[in-house]
Amino acid sequence: MFNKILNILLVEDNPDDAFLIGKLLTASLGSQFELATVERLSDACTCLDSNHFDVCLLDLHLPDSVGLDSLLSLHNKNPGLPIVILTGLDDEDLATQALQLGAQDYLMKGQVNSTWLKRTIYHAMERTRLLEKIRTHEQQMQQLNLLLRDRLKRRTTAIHQMHEQVQVLKTISFIDALTQIKNRLGFDQKLEQEWLRAIGNRTSLSLIMIDIDYFKQFNDTYGHPEGDRCLKRVAQAIEAGLHRPQDLVARYGGEEFVVILPETSETGAIQVAERICTDVRDLKIAHLTSPLCDRITISLGVATSMPQDNELPQDLIVKADQALYQAKHQGRDRISC
Ligand code: GH3
Ligand code: MG
Ligand code: MG
Ligand code: MG
Ligand code: MG
């Protein structure tokens, strides 16, 4: 049944008993075992420290330990070792207790024969084999658990990174790549917010539409890259001219910008528009082919509204657009409302 040599520890202080048990073992297992015999519990413990045993046969009357204490001591010492009680005590209660405490079997010295002993030892071996299998399975489960936990952690990190990327993309999608101010999408979002806030708070909301004068001419004269640089500088100048955190400038399209001024009356908006108009002119970006003057100028259309539930933010954009058209029509480099 087992191809290996079994290492058996016999704890027995009576030499005659030890001799008989040795003979029984030979009758049971042939030469398929190696026997180490000790007379005392303390020697058994020492023996277990340095040797591996497949099974232990334990007498309950030893010079240094009597009864089930011996079983407990050895069991604590090596919980995986099957222990077979081999005793002269015919005590059923003791036998039950021994089995409850983890003994493999409880055999009577006078009654046990070689077949019985062989079966007991084989059962002990089978038990050890099963226990080892369970232990291996437990280890495998533990490794699997660690692997899954690691995978989960990596997946969580990936999701976290993806979430961050989405946040970055979200931010980028509201920014104009050239001027780094808000783009049309950013403007739409802000206008929607401020429109609703103005309705709720019954406050006025102003827009300034801004368009660079004769910019096509500028591009034609100085080239497109210079045109891009001009757009950036104008955007920066407009942004610098807004002094409240709630004010916002966005690139509305090509060379057009739009400013949102929450809680701002027409008079206040005109003041801001005048400041921006002057600031851009003061940039002194040369535009020598402009029919107007020697530098870049802008036209501005101002519109103010007390938003109502039955109006749309688009109505305010149309108003600002019309004012801008008027400023263009009236000669450019000016504000209209
Ligand atoms: P107006 O005074 O009537 O506004 O005349 P304008 O020439 O400024 O207006 P128009 O609409 O005829 O031309 C706008 C020009 O703006 C044409 C277009 O090439 C230029 N433009 C639009 N977007 C960009 C850009 O991103 N970079 C550059 N360099 N030019 C741009
Ligand atoms: Mg004894
Ligand atoms: Mg334009
Ligand atoms: Mg223009
Ligand atoms: Mg008007």
Helix 215-222 to helix 224-240 angle (10° resolution) is: 130
Question: ipTM surpassing 0.90, yes or no?
Answer: yes
Burial (CB < 10 A; 0-12, 13-18, 19+), residue 28, is buried
pTM (2 d.p.): 0.65
Q: Which of 104, 107, 34, 116 is nearest to 74 (CA)?
A: 104
Please tell me the predicted confidence (pLDDT) of residue 309: 85
186 Cβ inside 6 Å of ligand 1: no
d(CA 230, ligand 3 centre) in Å? 14
Sheet order of strands, 83-87 included: 33-38, 6-11, 55-58, 83-87, 105-108
Please tell me the predicted confidence (pLDDT) of residue 128: 85
CA distance 299 to 208: 10
CA distance 114 to 18: 14
Please tell me the predicted confidence (pLDDT) of residue 92: 93
d(CA 255, ligand 3 centre) in Å? 6
Residue nearest to atom 10 of ligand 1 (CA): 216
Please, which residues have CB less than 5 A from ligand 5, an ion?
337
| Residues belonging to the chain | 337
Query: pLDDT averaged over the chain?
Result: 96
Please tell me the predicted confidence (pLDDT) of residue 3: 74
Which residues, listed in sequence order, are joined to residue 264 by a DSSP beta bridge? Answer: none
pLDDT tens-digit readout, 262-316: 999 999 999 999 999 999 999 999 999 999 999 999 999 999 999 998 899 999 9
Going by their DSSP bridges, the two strands 335-336 and 298-305 should be labelled as: parallel
pLDDT tens-digit readout, 97-141: 999 999 999 999 989 999 999 999 999 888 888 888 999 999 999
Please tell me the predicted confidence (pLDDT) of residue 127: 86
What single letter denotes the amino acid at residue 200?
G
135 Cβ inside 6 Å of ligand 1: no
151 Cβ inside 6 Å of ligand 1: no
Residue nearest to atom 19 of ligand 1 (CA): 216
Confidence of residue 4 (pLDDT cuts 50, 70, 90): confident
Residue nearest to atom 2 of ligand 1 (CA): 213
> Tokens in use for 305?
């509204």
d(CA 210, ligand 5 centre) in Å? 15
CA distance 262 to 168: 27
219 Cβ inside 6 Å of ligand 1: yes
> Tokens in use for 335?
């504000």
Pocket perturbation via mutation, ligand 1, pick of 183, 219, 328 by most ligand atoms within 8 A of CB: 219
232 Cβ inside 6 Å of ligand 1: no
Average pLDDT over residues 181-209: 97
Please tell me the predicted confidence (pLDDT) of residue 131: 86
pLDDT tens-digit readout, 135-165: 999 999 999 999 999 999 999 999 999 999 9
Among all bound ligands, the one having the nearest atom to the CA of 213 is 1
Known catalytic residues?
255
228 Cβ inside 6 Å of ligand 1: yes
d(CA 337, ligand 5 centre) in Å? 4
Q: What angle do CA 68, 74, 79 make, to 5 degrees?
A: 115
Please, which residues have CB less than 5 A from ligand 4, an ion?
211-212, 215, 255
Confidence of residue 216 (pLDDT cuts 50, 70, 90): very high
Average pLDDT over residues 171-182: 96
d(CA 217, ligand 3 centre) in Å? 12
Confidence of residue 179 (pLDDT cuts 50, 70, 90): very high
Query: CA separation (Å) from 167 to 160, 171, 251, 307?
Result: 11, 6, 22, 31
214 Cβ inside 6 Å of ligand 1: yes
252 Cβ inside 6 Å of ligand 1: no
Query: Quick one: which atom of ligand 1 is closest to the CA of 228?
Result: 29
Is the pLDDT at 2 greater than 70, yes or no? Answer: no
CA distance 128 to 4: 14
255 Cβ inside 6 Å of ligand 1: yes
Among all bound ligands, the one having the nearest atom to the CA of 224 is 1
CA distance 335 to 337: 7
Average pLDDT over residues 221-250: 98
Average pLDDT over residues 226-251: 98
Average pLDDT over residues 179-208: 97
pLDDT tens-digit readout, 40-49: 999 999 999 9
